[in-house]
Amino acid sequence: MKKITLFKVATQSIIKNKLRTMLTMLGIVIGVGAVIIMVAIGNGAQSQIEKQIGNLGTNMIVITAGSTAQGGVSQGAGTFNRLTIADADKIKLNSTLLNAVSPVIVTRTQIIGGLGNWRTGVNGVSTDYLTIRNWGVSSGELFSDDDVRSKKKVVVLGNTVATNLFPDGNAVGAQVQLGRSPFTVVGVLSPKGQTATGNDQDDVVLVPYTTAQDRLSGFSFLAQILGSTSSTAVIPAAIEEVKLLMRDAHNLNGGNVPDDFTVRDQTAIAAAATSTTSVMTGLLAAIASISLIVGGIGIMNIMLVSVTERTREIGIRMAIGARGSDVLTQFLIESIVMSVLGGVIGLLVGLGGAAILGKFTGWATATPWSAVFIAVGFSAAVGVFFGYYPARKAASMNPIQALRYE
Amino acid sequence: MPAATARPAAGGPVISLDKVVKRYTMGTNEVLAMRGVDLIVEPGEMVAIMGASGSGKSTMMNIIGCLDTPTSGSYVLDGVPVNGLSRNQLADLRNQKLGFVFQGFNLLPRTTALDNVELPMLYDRAGRWTDTRATAAAALTRVGLGARMDHEPSELSGGQQQRVAIARAIVTQPTVLLADEPTGNLDSHTTVDVMSLFQELNEQGITIILVTHEPDVAQYAKRIVEMRDGRIIRDVPVADRHNAKADLASMVSDDALAVVA
Ligand SMILES: Nc1ncnc2c1ncn2[C@@H]1O[C@H](COP(=O)(O)OP(=O)(O)O)[C@@H](O)[C@H]1O
Ligand SMILES: [Mg+2]
């Protein structure tokens, strides 16, 4: 029998048994739909994170206290808060590759003014901070180097803080109280959005680091030192330079002492974040794939029942001249057509489901083309794999016994 | 498979069974369903095979129909020695030289008459058929169902279903038409109706072998072969052959009389 007529015979029998066909396909529809939705969510999260990391600042280098490569040996708690203003100054003064350097002091406090009060994060920074973070002000301006030198009590509000305390937009020039000290608002930052982990980057206020040390945090250690280069190309060299300067500043040169600080750039942070999400995507897809396999077993199940149920039909076909291979191919085509059809429907369900989910939860979803092809290809493979055994069973029947089957 | 399609020299028998034995083994039980059967059927014959239940009629039909192979003895179908052929060669032989009609009609359910009749041509590997739809339609017209082509079996009477089955059996122009109790499920009127179709087809040159245990039905054939315990005990020409068409006409007038009375 020609392949095309076999295809016709197979599709006829699929159409003739609509309910059975739908039930058979259901497993594959759910399986493929689940895989597509999971991959869409994982993939969406990943591109979201990449975007947000780009948002952190271009060509940024982050120096934090403590080593990440201490071979499992925990360093004492005291060794952690060892970034100082002196370190930041030394880098600022001696670096040839960094065009901006800012210490960052992090604390939290209550800010009172405008409509009431608001608890928020305070970052004590230098005037380079906005350059490094690729950030700007929407009104007013950042404090000046003079303000930093003279420890002036001036503050720049993040967008969230400003909209909560000064919804009318009249923040600049207003007096607020930070902790126990009065501050003057000199600017409002432009909105930055959420971080990859869902933190609101606009829920923050910036003050001169000198003022922060004096009036707010009460300690002199830094959370981070941030720096930026003028181009991505020099980042590796800049990291090496900063490491040397830091080792010098911490008197680690000469000995075989490990770094007591860590220098990272965006690619390292991005790699860590995206590898986490790609592991998550893989995990989600793997879980969803299990439902695809269950769907395949469903196909095999119904095909086996169908082969038994259609024993007489198989006998008739053989009596009028069907070869075993004709019967095998017919049943195989039936199972492949059903699973591919199920795969395509599942694909549409998945794409629709991902879109609806994205709309209601606000999650970013993105379906890569590869997932589409893999889903359909995989469901065809499921059809072949789980359809073969029942088809084989049908093909090896004895025509006389098959004809006599009630 | 050229051997199966090659026609013998003109005049050879269509079927030639020589000392055919069929033994079924079920565990320690052995059944000798055929105990050395010799049978020659010439082209154009219409043979009725009779005998009590269990006498081996179906077994012989299965062997003649290449659905089964003899335990010993030889079988030559239309010049082709069947012994030792593979499963695929037997399938091709059934497709090209044989037509089957069963007691239970055995049509594909939820499939139109036309699709049912077209089916054997779709399994043809010798490329004999070009317009399978038209050929199937012609066969249905030939059995008087030209107006019922799009009907599914469930929409047809028993007699009509058997006509579809006959159309399917003859559509490939087989050498032999095999019918195992073709009227077993039909009432007497429809039985005569179907037999008139068999007689008509036989007149057109188709060799027919049919199994029946009704002596009335056997009277429509040209030759009666009787079996008992796996052996042929009687093989005679039909002396007083009935004409089904004439019987049908008289039955119709009887019915008419009955209605009048
Ligand atoms: N597949 C089989 N397995 C075992 N015994 C069988 C089988 N087919 C038929 N027989 C036996 O062979 C004998 C002849 O059967 P069969 O040819 O069907 O007779 P008939 O058609 O004349 O009634 C019976 O005794 C039957 O039980
Ligand atoms: Mg029988």
Cα–Cα nearest to B38, from B180, B219, B233:
B233
Contact A318 B91 (CB under 8 A): yes
Q: What is the pLDDT of residue A58?
A: 63
Q: Is the pLDDT of residue A57 over 70?
A: no
Ligand nearest to the CA of B225: 1
Residue A77 has pLDDT above 70, yes or no: no
- Tell me if B52 CB under 6 Å of ligand 1: no
Answer whether residue A71 shows pLDDT above 50.
Answer: no
Top pLDDT among A59 and B179 is at: B179
Q: Is the pLDDT of residue A100 over 50?
A: yes
Q: Does A85 touch chain B (CB under 8 A)?
A: no
The enclosing H or E element of A140 equals strand A137-140
Contacts of B87 in chain A (CB under 8 A): 323-324
pLDDT of residue B167: 96
**Regarding predicted confidence, which is higher, B188 or A2?**
B188
pLDDT in tens, A153-184: 999 999 999 999 998 888 899 999 998 889 99
What pLDDT, on a 0 to 100 scale, did the predictor assign at position A42? 83
Q: What percent of chain A has pLDDT over 70?
A: 91
Name the H helices within A3-136: 3-16, 18-56, 85-94, 129-133
- The residues of chain B scoring below 70 in pLDDT are 1-11, 255-261
Q: Which of B25, B57, B59, B233 to mutate to test the pocket of ligand 1 (most atoms within 8 A of CB)?
A: B59
Helix (H, G, I), strand (E, B) or coil at A166: coil
Domain contains B18: no
Q: State the pLDDT confidence band at A233, using cuts at 50, 70 and 90.
A: confident
- The answer to the question of residue B79 being in a domain is no
Ligand 1: does its nearest atom lie under 6 Å from the Cβ of B123? no
With contacts defined as CB-CB under 8 Å, which chain A residues touch B109?
313
Per-residue pLDDT tens over the stretch A379-391: 888 889 999 999 9
Is the per-residue pLDDT at A296 higher than 90?
Answer: no
Distance between CA atoms of residues B107 and B165, nearest Å: 7
Whose atoms come closest to the Cα of B182: which ligand?
2
Cβ neighbours of B123 in A, within 8 Å? 1, 317, 320-323, 326
Q: Strand B80-81's sheet: what is its strand order?
A: B29-41, B15-26, B72-77, B80-81
Residue A252: pLDDT band (50, 70, 90) is confident
- Where in the sequence is the domain holding B140, given as residue range(s)? 46-67+86-260
Higher pLDDT, B211 or A107: B211
Q: How far off is chain A from B243, nearest CA to CA, in Å?
A: 30
Cβ proximity of A64 and A380 under 8 Å: no
A12 to chain B: which residues are within 8 Å by CB? 111, 115
Residue A13: count other Cβ atoms within 10 Å of its Cβ. Answer: 22
Write down the pLDDT at residue A11.
Answer: 83
Q: What is the pLDDT of residue A73?
A: 44
Q: Say yes or no: CB of residue B61 within 6 Å of ligand 1.
A: no
Note the pLDDT of residue B158: 93
pLDDT of res. B234: 96
Torsion of CA A346, A349, A354, A355, to 10 degrees: 150
pLDDT of A401 strictly over 60: yes
Closest ligand by atom to B53 CA = 1
In a 3-state reduction of DSSP, which class is residue A174? coil
Instruction: State the Cα angle at B180 between B97 and A322, rounded to 5°.
Output: 40
Interface of B with A (CB under 8 A): 62, 65, 67-68, 87-88, 91-92, 94-96, 100, 102, 106-111, 115, 119-120, 122-125, 168, 172
Residue A197 pLDDT: 67
Q: Which amino acid is at A286?
A: A
Is residue A387 within 8 A of residue A339, CB to CB? The reply is yes
List the end-to-end C-alpha distance of chain B, in Å, as a whole number: 63
B102: CA distance to ligand 2 center in Å?
Answer: 10
Chain B's closest residue to A4, CA to CA, is B122
pLDDT at A196: 60
Cα-based angle B57, B59, B61 (whole degrees, multiple of 5): 70
> Could you tell me if B18 and B39 are in contact, meaning their C-beta atoms sit under 8 angstroms apart?
no
Which chain B residues are closer than 8 Å to A313 by Cβ? Answer: 108-109
Instruction: Find the CATH number of the domain harbouring B186.
Output: 3.40.50.300
Give φ, ψ of B95 to 5 degrees.
-65, -35
- Report d(CA A38, CA A289) in Å as an integer: 10
CB contact under 8 A, B91 and A12: no
Name the minimum distance, in Å, from the CA of B17 to any CA of chain A.
Answer: 20
Question: Taking a C-beta distance cutoff of 8 angstroms, is the pair B152, B182 a contact?
Answer: no
Chain A residue at shortest CA distance from B177: A320
Q: pLDDT at residue A261 above 90?
A: no
Higher pLDDT, A286 or B81: B81
**Averaged pLDDT, A44-55:** 73
Average pLDDT in the A93-117 region?
A: 90
- Please write the tens of the pLDDT for every residue from B61-98: 999 999 999 999 999 999 999 999 999 999 999 999 99
pLDDT score of A369: 86
Residue A279 in 3-state DSSP? helix
* Number of domains composing chain B: 1
Best probe of the A interface among B85, B94, B123, B130, by most A CBs < 10 A, is B123
